[in-house]
Amino acid sequence: ANKTRHFKWEVEYMHFAPDCVEGVVMGINGQFPGPTIRARAGDTIHVELTNKLPTEGVVIHWHGIRQIGTPWADGTASISQCAINPGETFVYRFQVDKAGTYFYHGHYGMQRSAGLYGSLIVEVGEREKEPFQYDGEFNLLLSDWWHKSSHEQEVDLSSNPMRWIGEPQTLLINGRGQYNCSLAAHFSNSSGSQCKLRGSEQCAPKILHVLPNKTYRLRIASSTALASLNLAIGNHKMVVVEADGNYLEPFSVSNMDIYSGESYSVLFTTNQEPSKNYWISISVRGREPKTPQALTILNYIPTSASKLPNLPPPVAPLWDDYGSSRSFSSKILALKGSPKPPKKHDRRIILLNTQNLIDGYTKWAINNVSLVLPATPYLGSIRYGLNNAFDHKHPPENFRPDYDVSKPAPNQNSTYGSGVYMLNFNTTVDVILQNANALKANVSEIHPWHLHGHDFWVLGYGEGRFMEKDEMKFNMKNPPLRNTAVIFPYGWTALRFVADNPGVWAFHCHIEPHLHMGMGVVFAEGVHHVKKIPNEALGCGLTGKMLMNNVHN
Binding site for ligand ASC (CB under 6 A): 164, 438, 445, 514
Amino acid at 227: A
d(CA 448, CA 259): 6
Which of 281, 311, 277 is CA-nearest to residue 293? 281
The closest residue (CB) to ligand ASC is 164
Q: Please spell the DSSP secondary structure of 223-288, one letter per residue.
A: --SS-EEEEEETTB-EEEEEETTEEEEEEEESEEEE-TT-EEEEEEE--S-TTSEEEEEEEEESS-
Nearer to ligand ASC, 380 or 489 (CB): 489
Q: Give the nearest distance from C-beta 514 to ligand ASC in angstroms.
A: 6
Sequence-ordered list of residues with C-beta below 8 angstroms from that of 428, at least 6 positions apart, any chain = 341, 342, 344, 345, 346, 347, 496, 497, 498, 499
Tell me how far the alpha carbon of residue 291 is from its chain's centroid: 20
Q: Give the nearest distance from C-beta 464 to ligand ASC in angstroms.
A: 21
d(CA 82, CA 63): 18
- DSSP E strands, 113-173: 117-123, 136-145, 170-173
Q: Give the nearest distance from C-beta 516 to ligand ASC in angstroms.
A: 9
Nearer to ligand ASC, 219 or 508 (CB): 508
Nearer to ligand ASC, 144 or 445 (CB): 445
Cβ contact 264:256 at 8 Å: yes
Nearer to ligand ASC, 408 or 462 (CB): 408
d(CA 524, CA 520): 14
Q: Is 543 helix (H, G, I), strand (E, B) or coil?
A: helix
Nearer to ligand ASC, 18 or 518 (CB): 518
End-to-end CA distance of the chain: 45
Nearer to ligand ASC, 95 or 414 (CB): 414
Nearer to ligand ASC, 98 or 514 (CB): 514
